[in-house]
Amino acid sequence: MNKNSTILRIAKRLFANKGLISLATVLTIAQVALTVYLPILIGQAVNQVVTIDQVNFDALFGILVQMVIVIAINSLVQLINPLIYNRLIYTMIEDLRNEVLEKIHLIPLNYLDTQSTGAVVSRITTDTDQLAAGLLMVFNQFLTGVLTIVITIVTMARLDTRMMLIVVLLTPISMVIAHFVASRSYNLYTKQTQVRSTHSELIEEAVQQSELVRLFNQQDNKSAQFDEVNNVYSDYSHSAIFISSTVNPTTRFVNAVIYALVTLVGAMRIISGAFTVGELTTFLNYANQYMKPFNDISNVLTELQSATASGDRIFELIDLVDEKETGSKVFDSAEVDGQISFDDVAFSYVPEKELIRNLTMAVEPGQTVAIVGPTGAGKSTLINLLMRFYDVDSGAIFIDGVNMNDYTRRSVREQFGMVLQETWLKTGTIAENIAYGYPDASREQVVEAAKRAHAHRFIEMLPDGYDTVLTDNGSNLSMGQRQLLSISRLFVQLPEMLILDEATSSIDTRTEVLIQQAFDELMIGRTTFIIAHRLSTIQNADIILVMKEGQIIEQGNHEALMRQEGFYYQMQMAGSGQSI
């Protein structure tokens, strides 16, 4: 994406609101016209004062009344204009943010998996704020400045063509300087926005993982990393700001020289009788009005570089290709049996690094499948494929004998209930969190789901019960309580197939028992895939899949695998018979 295309896309979005754009244009023209008309009145007033031997008070009073009226109307217009600009721009920014957030829910998950949360959040917040600030300057200064320049040139030409040419021919020097600086500051602002994402990412990690950082005494290392990125960010910021800040004093110096030259020529013409003092006063006001917008425009061009760089990053995300829907069928949940089979499935996150290959297995309805293996073996990847968070590279996964890809992703995911170690609690009440997948569920359904998940008792003990507000992923609850709430969600409307990560690390014994009881009730009569950690779960599973390097290397029940004395047996012995 280049700078020009970004500006055109932004302009197209702004002009979509034709009503506000039209109103803003009319009022801006009115503001400029009134501003340009005021020096004419000032010149006329000066002529009434410097007339030889007398002051024409009657004419002067009439001119002063006109000046008061013009100033009052102009002040009112200048008060209204920013309100219209703000409404126009922030309406567009609101729509843009909504579009970006909606896009995040449509793009493939592999993009989000390769991006830091801080970098994505930065595009929705910091970059949109920077874009809004730049656009406000465009309307507040650029549009007004351009109109002022055009109208002032016409008016100066009517007063004196020779002096108008002096101003018009010399002033472009300011624009040349501004353009020269702006082209160099754009690259620096682009790099600044890129480093700002890394900056935000490190801050987010430091806050979210503060306990982990302290546990491993990594405060100094984290501080050193932050200092390094912060210094790079500071260097780019200083360079961009320094270069852009040279525009204003340089253009002001050039404009001051032009102003002095106009004054000199005007004074000579007064001596020759070709000009009056009032006309020179009017012309000097116009010369100042004509040159001032160039300073404003130079400032806008500098700010626009940063805003355009932010726009680039926003549109880069918006332009990502949506996740493609491969099927159109929809499951009838009442007729789903829960038979699942993998037929020669191959998958990898990156093409050059193969993960799962030649995976073939069949799971009958109601069976419990325990998936075990070392870290990186492919256990979570198997779950990602079942939920269609990722699609297989080759082969196929079948549900009740039909290729999963023939169904919509939404329909497939509705057939699975999933509880992982990550509890996924959102900001809202406990009742809203339990009914997250089914927002129309009644309070009675929510309470019944919590009872079946053994969460009702602790919820009732909270100050506001089911109306207790959770924030920051439920940080005001214990880890076990959060897990029970996640399990409660499934009981609101139980699916025929389950995916469970029954890890209970850092959970007290009583809560662990409650979680296990909830899992046991969930699994009755349902096809269940469990990323297993506890020996009891593994022993009771109908099928145990032992995974290593993306392949199922052993398969069977607990007794059969122990008799083989293979990799599963070694894992059990290494875990002292307690867990894997």
Share of the chain above pLDDT 90, in %: 14
pLDDT at 503: 63
Could you give the CA distance from residue 97 to residue 102 in angstroms, rounded to a whole number? 8
- Contact indicator for 428, 466 with CB cutoff of 8 Å: no
Residue-wise pLDDT tens digits, 159-184: 778 878 877 887 777 767 767 776 77
Q: CA dist 210 to 197, 217, 327, 395, Å?
A: 19, 10, 44, 43
Average pLDDT over residues 227-249: 83
Placement of tokens 């057939």 in the chain? 415
Could you give the CA distance from residue 567 to residue 558 in angstroms, rounded to a whole number? 12
Q: CA dist 543 to 240, 373, 441, 527, Å?
A: 62, 14, 35, 11
Could you give the CA distance from residue 294 to residue 257 in angstroms, rounded to a whole number? 14
- Under the banding of pLDDT at 50, 70 and 90, the label for residue 578 is very low
- Contact indicator for 492, 305 with CB cutoff of 8 Å: no
What is the number of other CB atoms lying within 10 angstroms of the CB of residue 189? 27
- Under the banding of pLDDT at 50, 70 and 90, the label for residue 443 is very high
For residue 341, how many C-alpha atoms fall within 13 Å in the half-sphere facing its CB?
10
Residue predicted with more confidence, 378 or 466: 466
509 has a pLDDT exceeding 90: no
| Residues paired with 529 in a beta bridge | 369, 499
Q: What is the gyration radius of the CA atoms in the chain, in angstroms?
A: 35
Could you give the CA distance from residue 7 to residue 135 in angstroms, rounded to a whole number? 10
| Residues paired with 499 in a beta bridge | 418, 529
pLDDT at 51: 60
Q: Kindly report the average pLDDT of the chain as a whole number.
A: 83
Closest CA to 528 of 419, 423, 435: 419
Beta strands at 394-399 and 402-403: parallel, antiparallel or unpaired: antiparallel
396 has a pLDDT exceeding 90: yes
123 has a pLDDT exceeding 80: yes
Average pLDDT over residues 108-127: 83
Closest CA to 141 of 26, 300, 305, 8: 300
Average pLDDT over residues 129-148: 85
What is the number of other CB atoms lying within 10 angstroms of the CB of residue 469? 12
1 has a pLDDT exceeding 80: no
Closest CA to 126 of 336, 313, 373, 257: 313
Residue type, 195: V
Helices (H), 16-54: 18-49
Q: What is the DSSP letter of 475?
A: T
Could you give the CA distance from residue 303 to residue 525 in angstroms, rounded to a whole number? 63
Number of H helices and number of E strands within the chain? 23, 12
DSSP 116-136: -HHHHHHHHTHHHHHHHHHHH
Residue-wise pLDDT tens digits, 302-359: 778 788 888 888 998 899 888 888 888 998 888 888 899 999 988 888 887 778 888 8
Average pLDDT over residues 420-449: 88
Which residues have C-beta within 8 Å of that of residue 112, sequence separation ≥ 6?
Answer: 104, 120
Answer yes or no: pTM beyond 0.75. no
DSSP 395-448: EEEEETTEEGGGB-HHHHHHTEEEE-SS----SEEHHHHHTTT-TT--HHHHHH
For residue 48, how many C-alpha atoms fall within 13 Å in the half-sphere facing its CB?
15
Could you give the CA distance from residue 518 to residue 419 in angstroms, rounded to a whole number? 11
pLDDT at 525: 87
Q: From the centroid of its chain, how far is CA 481? A: 31
Beta-strand ranges (E) seen in 233-375 are: 340-347, 356-363, 368-372
Placement of tokens 């014994």 in the chain? 509
Max Cα distance, the chain (Å): 124
Residue-wise pLDDT tens digits, 42-75: 888 877 776 656 777 778 888 889 999 999 998 9
Residue-wise pLDDT tens digits, 76-107: 998 999 899 999 999 999 999 999 999 998 88
Beta-strand ranges (E) seen in 283-355 are: 340-347
Beta strands at 497-501 and 416-419: parallel, antiparallel or unpaired: parallel
pLDDT at 577: 44
Token readout for 271 is 């001596």
Beta strands at 543-548 and 368-372: parallel, antiparallel or unpaired: parallel
